[in-house]
Amino acid sequence: MADLITLRVTRYRPENDTEPTTQDYEIPLRKEWAVLDGLNHIKDHLDGTLSYRWSCRMGICGSCGMTVNGEPRLTCATFLEDCAPGPIRVEPLRNFPVIRDLVVEIGDFMRKLPQVKPWVIREEEASIDSEYLQTPAELDQYKQFSMCINCMLCYSACPVYALDKDFLGPAAIALAQRYNLDSRDQGSAERMDVLSAAEGIWSCTFVGECTTACPKGVDPAGAIQRYKFTAAMESLKAFLLPRGTR
Least Å from the CB of residue 2 to another protein: 34
Least Å from the CB of residue 30 to another protein: 30
- C-alpha 105/C-alpha 86 separation (Å) is 28
- Select 113 or 201, whichever has its Cβ closest to another protein: 201
Cross-strand bridge partners of residue 25? 7
Least Å from the CB of residue 106 to another protein: 12
* Whether 150 contacts 172, CB under 8 Å: no
- Select 51 or 61, whichever has its Cβ closest to another protein: 51
Least Å from the CB of residue 57 to another protein: 27
- Select 119 or 229, whichever has its Cβ closest to another protein: 229
Least Å from the CB of residue 68 to another protein: 15
Alpha carbon separation from 167 to 122, 137, 170 (Å, rounded)? 28, 32, 9
Q: Which residues bind another protein (CB under 8 A)?
A: 12, 14, 17, 19-20, 70, 94, 97-100, 105, 137, 159, 162-163, 205-209, 211-212, 219, 221-222, 225-226, 228-229
Alpha carbon separation from 31 to 2, 72, 88, 226 (Å, rounded)? 11, 22, 15, 41
Least Å from the CB of residue 161 to another protein: 10
Alpha carbon separation from 213 to 64, 89, 193, 220 (Å, rounded)? 14, 17, 27, 10
- At 145, which amino acid appears? F
- Select 61 or 231, whichever has its Cβ closest to another protein: 231
Alpha carbon separation from 24 to 39, 46, 145 (Å, rounded)? 11, 11, 38
- Select 91 or 185, whichever has its Cβ closest to another protein: 91
- Select 5 or 213, whichever has its Cβ closest to another protein: 213
- At 63, which amino acid appears? S
* Whether 57 contacts 43, CB under 8 Å: no
